[in-house]
Structure 1
């Protein structure tokens, strides 16, 4: 673990890798290169998880991740989305309730962080297609979440997208 002076907590020895070493896919997809936005989403998941567990100040977590994670990562996306998700947590949790089959407090912190991130993107980042939002959240759940947690993430975000992105889905012939 790497300790960063003046910042609480520590980070793993290796930053976000270029390829997905834990990719459980098969064949040509295994070890695929991650693009800058995918790396930023991994950072976002880790930062949201850290915030959920430690409730450290948002600016401290933001600074910690931006100092540590160098390289080709969509830093602007991370810098915009992380504090915005945190500032909308109550709204996002309220929006999530109808699509959940359990109380928010009983969700795994990784799943909760992914659901908040996915719902935030569905509601506030219409520049990102809903299929991309869902797919990215599912892929992150496969790597970081519990066994079969990706199925739960997929189901919840799919139901949310039907309501939040109805016009976009209509355009694709889905509805």
Structure 2
């Protein structure tokens, strides 16, 4: 199976990663089992499989670090976020921290789009504000260069 790495393939990888990480947060099953289930039960032909894998592993392995990065940008505790917001913010924080190949504006925009698709009515505004603050912390050099 070949891995596609177009922007739309990464967008699909993010959507599946959000769903898989949501399941991981709620059920607590090992991430590798959830990944295998997603690969078996979904049409993954046009998905960047490596990116999907990297997001699942990165967010699950670095959850505490990501929560620590997100926490100062929140108006409440990480535990008080909705499950969807928590996944979106962890995904975005991971990409801002570990995926320097993805421009910070793309990370923020993808988080907004995920929140519009899966979150509550105005959660995209909250996600935008939080990820913008996290980007200022993680990507200062890139932001100043713009």
TM-score category (smaller protein): over 0.9
Structure 1 residue 158 displacement after superposition: 0.3
2:3 maps to what in 1?
A: none
> Are the counterparts in 1 of residues 14 and 55 from structure 2 also a CA contact under 8 Å?
no
Q: Is residue 52 of structure 1 aligned with residue 6 of structure 2?
A: no
CA RMSD of aligned residues (A): 1.0
**Higher relative contact order (CA closer than 8 Å, sequence separation 6+):** 2
Structure-1-length-normalised TM-score: 0.77
Once superposed, which parts of structure 1, at least 4 consecutive aligned residues long, lie more than 6 Å away? none
CA distance in 2, matches of 1:67, 1:136: 25
CA distance in 2, matches of 1:114, 1:81: 11
Q: Is residue 39 of structure 1 aligned with residue 12 of structure 2?
A: yes
1:111 maps to what in 2?
A: 85
Q: Is residue 128 of structure 1 aligned with residue 102 of structure 2?
A: yes
Structure 1 residue 96 displacement after superposition: 1.1
Structure 1 gaps of 5+ residues are 1-33
2:34 maps to what in 1?
A: 61
Structure (1 or 2) with the larger CA radius of gyration: 1
Instruction: Answer 1 or 2: which has greater helix percent.
Output: 2
Map Cα deviations across residues 45-99 of structure 1 (whole Å, 9 max, x no partner): 0011001111111111010111122221111101122111100001111111111
